[in-house]
């Protein structure tokens, strides 16, 4: 549990750094379009979390093949790719600076990695109790 | 004397068994993730070209509705292909009763793949007719390349999604036996 506490503190620092990078990428050039990246990456685990509940039935739990879970996975990976592609597209058409593009991609990656690592750690704790 | 082995396989060759990397268990999920990523990538490639076309100063050529048509055809084909029940295609009439259902499912599969192939061929034709033959500069040829790679990515996405789902149904079939 002590390791869990350290993990939580570390992940919160990483999350703060990620949001710092995204907000800096917006504020340094006074162009708030890269904030969409933060919104996208925060929304990314949502379809998996919603549709994954369809798997948690009593007997179909050992087999991960239901159609609803597939829809969740499809939407999740679409949203993740959207989060990486959006700043590149904006930088390509010179709406935002390339530096803002790089900063918002790194920040978004940190935010999404935090969410993934947190859910993975939480799931491991849950399976310890089972 | 015999050691109790939890996962003893009598067909094995080596004394120390190979590490059993169970990618099969996650093959289904990985396939669906890759298909979704390719789908989004296809969309963003074309939207990148469209946004670029909107934001360039003094353009010789714009992206118009004609450029959107192959992508729309591919998405329609993608939806049709994925709406088909995979068990109907295989033709075992265990639950479908007559052969008419199988025939209809195959007809819809053909229509779906025809839409996708039509989208791909249309994007190539559009690139050649609208951009390549008129000898625009490289900046505008990019619109045609983006359109072609969009449709290629749609088709790859559909194929990977199909393979992932059909492999899992085979697994389920063996499990049922």
pLDDT in tens, A102-113: 999 999 999 999
What's chain B's Rg over C-alpha atoms? 23
Is residue B19 a part of any domain in this protein?
A: no
More confident position, A21 or A94: A21
List the structure tokens of B151.
């449709």
Name the token pair of A67: 């159609």
With CA atoms as reference, the chain A residue closest to B168 would be A65
| B6 alpha carbon, distance to own chain's centre | 39
Residue B87 touches partner A, C-beta closer than 8 Å: no
B57 lies in which domain range? Answer: 25-176
Q: How confident is the model at residue A61 (pLDDT cuts 50, 70, 90)?
A: very low
CA B168 to chain centre: 16
> Which of 11-30 (B) contact A at CB < 8 A?
28-29
Subunit contact A74:B32, Cβ cutoff 8 A:
yes
Task: Give the up-direction half-sphere exposure of residue A127: CA atoms within 13 A in the CB hemisphere.
Answer: 5
The residue with greater pLDDT, A60 or A83, is A83
Q: Give the pLDDT mean for B11-27.
A: 62
In tens, the pLDDT along B128-144 reads 998 888 878 888 888 89
* CB–CB contact A89 B29 (8 Å): no
Residue B61 tokens read as: 């050529």
DSSP A52: G
Q: Do A79 and B40 touch (CB under 8 A)?
A: yes
Condensed to tens digits (0 to 9), the pLDDT of residues B62-92 reads 888 889 999 999 999 999 998 887 766 666 5
Query: Would you say residue B20 lies in a domain?
Result: no
Tens digit of pLDDT for each residue in B90-129? Answer: 665 555 556 677 788 888 889 999 999 999 999 999 999 9
Q: Which of B32, B39, B51 is closest, CB to CB, to A70?
A: B32
Looking at residue B24, its pLDDT comes to: 61
Contacts A92 to B, Cβ<8 Å: 48, 51-52
pTM listed for this prediction: 0.79
Length, in residues, of chain B: 177
- Distance to chain B for A13, nearest Cα, Å: 28
Q: What is the pLDDT at residue A51?
A: 80
Q: How much is the pLDDT for B48?
A: 92
- Report yes or no on B86 lying in a domain: yes
Residues 104-123 of chain B whose Cβ lies under 8 A from any Cβ of chain A: none
Query: Mean pLDDT, chain A, as a whole number?
Result: 81
Lookup result for tokens 């509940």: A53
Q: Which of chain B's residues have a Cβ under 8 Å away from the Cβ of A65? A: 28, 168-169, 172
ipTM: 0.80
Do the domain assignments include residue B6?
A: no
Question: Which of B22, B33, B78 should be substituted to probe chain A, the one whose Cβ sees the most A Cβ atoms within 10 Å?
Answer: B33
Residue B156's alpha-carbon distances to A15, B22, B118, in angstroms, are 34, 24, 14
Least CB-CB distance to A85: which of B40, B54, B168? B40
For B69, phi then psi, to 5°, come to -65, -45
Specify whether the CB–CB gap between B153 and A85 falls below 8 A. no
| CB-based contacts of B5-11 (< 8 A; 24+ apart in sequence) | none
Answer yes or no: is pLDDT of B177 > 50: no
In the block, residue with structure tokens 């879970």: A69
| Neighbour count for residue B172 (Cβ, 10 Å) | 11
Residue B79 lies in a domain: yes
Contact status, residue B32 vs residue A47, Cβ threshold 8 Å: no
Q: Is pLDDT of B172 > 90?
A: no
Q: What pLDDT score was predicted for residue A130?
A: 43
Number of domains chain B is built from: 1
* Interface contact flag, A88 B48, Cβ < 8 Å: yes
| Neighboring chain B residues of A47 at a CB cutoff of 8 Å | none
B44-56: average pLDDT? 89
8 A C-beta contact, residue A26 and residue A38: no
Per-residue pLDDT reduced to its tens digit, A17-59 = 999 999 998 888 888 888 888 888 888 888 888 887 765 554 4
């Amino acid at each position: 549990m002590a390791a869990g506490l350290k993990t939580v503190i570390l992940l919160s620092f990483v999350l703060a750094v990620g949001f710092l990078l995204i907000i800096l990428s917006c504020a340094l050039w006074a162009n708030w379009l890269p904030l969409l990246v933060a919104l996208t990456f925060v929304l990314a685990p949502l379809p998996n979390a919603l549709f994954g509940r369809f798997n948690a039935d009593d007997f179909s739990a050992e087999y991960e093949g239901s159609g609803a879970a597939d829809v969740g996975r499809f939407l999740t990976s679409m949203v993740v790719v959207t989060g990486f592609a959006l700043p590149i597209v904006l930088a390509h058409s010179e709406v935002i600076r390339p530096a803002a593009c790089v900063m918002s991609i790194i920040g978004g990656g940190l935010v999404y990695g935090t969410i993934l690592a947190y859910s993975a750690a939480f799931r491991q704790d849950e399976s310890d109790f089972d | 004397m015999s050691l109790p082995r939890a996962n003893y396989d009598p067909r094995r060759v080596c004394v120390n068994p190979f590490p059993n990397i169970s990618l099969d268990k996650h093959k289904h999920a990985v396939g669906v993730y890759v298909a979704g990523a390719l789908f989004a990538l296809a969309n963003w490639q074309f939207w990148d070209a469209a946004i670029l076309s909107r934001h360039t100063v003094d353009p010789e050529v714009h992206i118009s509705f004609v450029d959107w048509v192959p992508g729309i055809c591919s998405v329609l084909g993608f939806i049709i292909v994925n709406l088909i029940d995979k068990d109907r295609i295989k033709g075992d009439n265990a639950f479908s009763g007559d052969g008419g259902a199988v025939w209809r499912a195959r007809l819809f599969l053909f229509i779906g793949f025809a839409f996708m192939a039509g989208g791909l061929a249309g994007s190539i034709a559009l690139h050649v007719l609208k951009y390549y033959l008129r000898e625009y500069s490289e900046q505008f040829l990019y619109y045609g390349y983006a359109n072609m790679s969009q449709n290629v990515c749609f088709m790859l996405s559909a194929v990977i999604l199909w393979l992932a789902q059909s492999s899992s149904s085979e697994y389920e079939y063996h499990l049922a036996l």
